[in-house]
Amino acid sequence: MLTKDQVTSPAVMEGWLRDLSLPPVLRQDGMNNWNLEFTVTGSNTLVMNLVNPKSIPRAVMLVCGMSPVAAHVTAFQALSAADRGEFWRDLRTLLSREFVEFQLEGTPGVECPKVLRISAVRFDDGLTLDSFSSTLSSVCKACGDAIVLFTERLGDPNAPAGGEFAFRKSATQ
């Protein structure tokens, strides 16, 4: 387990990401003591950030932010009012799970969610490589499930021949 002093620097977490074959890039921002951006490749590539928030310095937070593409917004607007409401309910139900938090921007049932942020917070007193890897897995699974919901309900008309999901990936947004 880490100590609170080890969380104040990105060194240990950067090493863990490299151990998991996820080479990070150090980014600067005003809300965090440090910010490591990395990419999780797979059937749906995810750009993620691992940060040490200034507001909770004994914690690290994994964050993945996504925004729907224009085709999703158009498809969402074509849904009936009842189906738009059901989409939002299903998205919230899907993302309501242990170990992850989520934020959705937009007017529920009226507009397509503008931004989805899926995150998880871990504190230094329970943080090991194993627990970190498990938390990363939980965030990735929640992101993947959200992508599947958008694809199933709103289609993926802009998917290239290679099959990459047409979703803008933009880390913390």
CATH assignment at residue 158: 3.30.1460.10
Coil/strand/helix, residue 79: coil
Say what the pLDDT of residue 58 is.
95
Say what the pLDDT of residue 164 is.
44
| Count of the separate structural domains present in the chain | 1
Give CA–CA dist 82/125, Å, rounded. 45
pTM over 0.85: yes
Give CA–CA dist 55/142, Å, rounded. 25
**Residue 41 structural domain:** 4-169
- Helix ranges restricted to H, the chain: 4-7, 11-19, 70-78, 81-95, 129-154
| Stretches in the chain below the pLDDT threshold 50 | 160-165, 173
Say what the pLDDT of residue 42 is.
84
102-112: per-residue pLDDT in tens? 999 999 999 99
